[in-house]
Structure 1
Amino acid sequence: MHKRTITICMMVVVLFSCISKNKVSSNTNDVIVPTAKFDQTDTIPKITIQDTSLVFPQIFEGSFFADTKVAQFGTEITFDKIAVGNLKVSSGQIIATDPVTLSDAVAFNENFPIGEFPVELAMANIKTNRDRRFAFARVKFSDKPIRKWSFALLPGQPPIPLKSKEIYGYGVDAGLALFVDQVAKNSLNTLLDKNWDNIFSEKFKDYLNYDFQKQNAVFFSTGYGDVFYATYIGRDSDGKICQLLTDFDIVLWRNATEW
C-alpha cells in the first residue's frame, strides 16, 4: 500500500495537474483560459436532451447521447460515449472506489447480474476552454428502459432521496476510480501493491481495462480529480438492475429547476 501512496503525487501531476472545480486543466494539449472566463454564479444547468422518455436524473443516461447539451458556468457542454470493453462479474458483488483505497473497500449491497457486461464512459466536452473530462462511468447490464434511479448502498446505509443534501459515495485521492468484482478484489489489490508504477505509468491517459487471473477491472480518470463521488443504480419497471453508474459531478443536475 505504501508504494501506491508514494506515487500518488507524481500521478496527479502527470495526469490531472492537481485541479479543482474552479480551475481549468493545465494539460499542454488544452487551451488555458483563466477561471474568470467562467461565470461562477451560473450554477443552475440548462439541460437539453432529445429523448423525453428518460427518468430523473435524465442526464445520467442523456450524457451518453451525442445530441445532449448542458449550459452551465457560462459555457456549453456536449458529450461523447466511449466504450472500454466488458467488466467480468463472477460473484454478483461489485465494488466502485479509488484504487488506492481498494484494500478497505466493500461491495454494494445489491446482487448484480453475473456475466460480462459493457462499461461505458461519458466524456464531457467543455467548450470554453476546450477541456475534456469524464462525467459519468457505467456498467450496463440491460438495454431495458430505466424507470428509477437510487443510490448504490453499502452495508448499513439506509436509503436516502436522490436530491438529499448529503450523498453516499467514495473519496478519490489518485484522480482514478474503478469497477471490480468482489472476487477479483484481493488479487487485484496484491497486483497493485507490486505493479502500481507499471500499471499506471505516464502512458496511462484516460482509462484502462486491466485483465488478470481470468478476472479484470476497469479504471478511469475521475472528473476534476480528487473529490467525492456518488454511485447509483438504475432499475427497470420490474425492479431489475439495468445499470450501475458513478457521477463525477461535472453537471450540477441537483441544481436544475426543471425535471
Structure 2
Amino acid sequence: MGAVELIRSGFERFFVDGPVGKSTGGGEQQVISVRQVGELALPTGRLVAADPFVVWPDDAEAFTDVVEPGNYPVSVSLVSYIDGDGLPDERQGYRVAAAKVTVKDETAYSWRPAVTPGEHVPMLPVMPEFGYDVKSSTGAFFDLAAASALDRLASDDEAGNCDLIDALGEVGGGRGPANVTDARSGLNVVAFSTGWGDGVYPTWVGRNTAGDPVAFVTDFFVITRA
C-alpha cells in the first residue's frame, strides 16, 4: 500500500491487534500487537518527533500543528511474524512498526504530512521523502519544552549510566518502548526502536471533519503495504 492509499484509508489498521497484510515471500505472516506506553506530557502542546540521541536541544523543532496543553496517550504497533507452519518466528522477535500520540478519541477523516516550520510536502501521486533522520535506530515523542530534559535523559551521568538507554534496555532487548521522566523538570519522553533501524521516517497527522488533529503517527515502514 502506497502513500496515496494510506492517506485515503488511514493508519487505523496499524493499531489493531491481529494479522495484517498478505504473507511475505517466505510464507511468513505479520501479526500486530498494540502496546500502550502511558501518557506524554505536552505542557506547550507542541509535539516533537526525533531521534533522541541525535537531536540537540536548540535544534528541536515541533510540528506546526499545535494541540491543547495536556497529557496524551501514546501507543506503539509491534509486529512479530508467524512462519509458514503457523509457529512464531522467535528469531525475529518483534519490530516497532509505528508509534502514535492520540489527541482525541476519534477516527481521522484524513491524513496529511506532519511538518515543521518552513517545511512543505506536496501531495503527489508519488510522495517525496519526508520525516526525521534516525541514526541511532531510536525515535521519540516529546514536548518542545522537554528538549533540555531529553538531553539529560539521553546523556551519560558521572557514573556512565544513561537513563534512556537503561529504560529501553529493560524492554524487548533494547527495542522498547519506554516512557521516561526527567527528575529535574518532571517532563517525560517516550522512546522506541525504529523498525529495521536507521533511516528517514515520516510522521502523519490525522484530522477530524473539523480539521482538528486527532492523532500523530510515525511510520517505520515495517507493515507490509498489501
* Normalised-by-shorter TM-score class: 0.7 to 0.9
Q: 1:190: which partner in 2?
A: 152
Say if 1:138 and 1:243, in contact at 8 Å, map to a contact too. yes
Which of the numbers 171, 175, 180 marks the counterpart of 1:210?
180
**In structure 1, what residue type is equivalent to 2:199?**
V
Partner of 1:83: 36
**Contact 2:10–2:111, Cα closer than 8 Å, also in 1:** no
**TM-score when normalising by structure 1:** 0.71
CA distance in 2, matches of 1:197, 1:57: 45
| RMSD of aligned alpha carbons | 2.3
Say if 2:126 is the partner of 1:164. Answer: yes
In structure 2, what is the equivalent of residue 152 of structure 1? 114
Q: Pick from 115, 121, 129 the counterpart of residue 76 of structure 2.
A: 121
Offset at residue 147 of structure 1 (A) = 0.4
CA gap of 1:58–1:243, structure 2 versus 1, over 3 A, is same
Gaps (5+ residues) in structure 1? 1-43, 46-53
Q: Matched residue pairs, number? A: 203
Deviation at 1:235, TM superposition (A): 0.4
Give the 3 Å change call, closer, same or farther, for CA 143–217 of structure 1 in structure 2. same
How far the C-alpha of 1:115 sits from its partner, in A, is 0.5
The whole-number CA distance in structure 2 between the counterparts of 1:58 and 1:223 is 21
Aligned to 2:101, which of 128, 139, 145? 139
- CA distance in 2: counterparts of 1:179 and 1:162, whole angstroms: 27
Please give the per-residue CA displacement for 1:131-183, whole angstroms capped at 9, x wherever unaligned: 31111100001111210000000111123227534121112111111000001
* Residue 101 (structure 1) shift: 1.9
Query: 2:40–2:72: 8 Å Cα contact kept in structure 1?
Result: yes
Structure 2 Cα separation of the partners of residues 192 and 179 of structure 1: 13
Identity %: 27
Alignment partners' CA distance in 2, 1:59 and 1:227 = 22
Decide which moves more: 141-150 or 162-171. 162-171
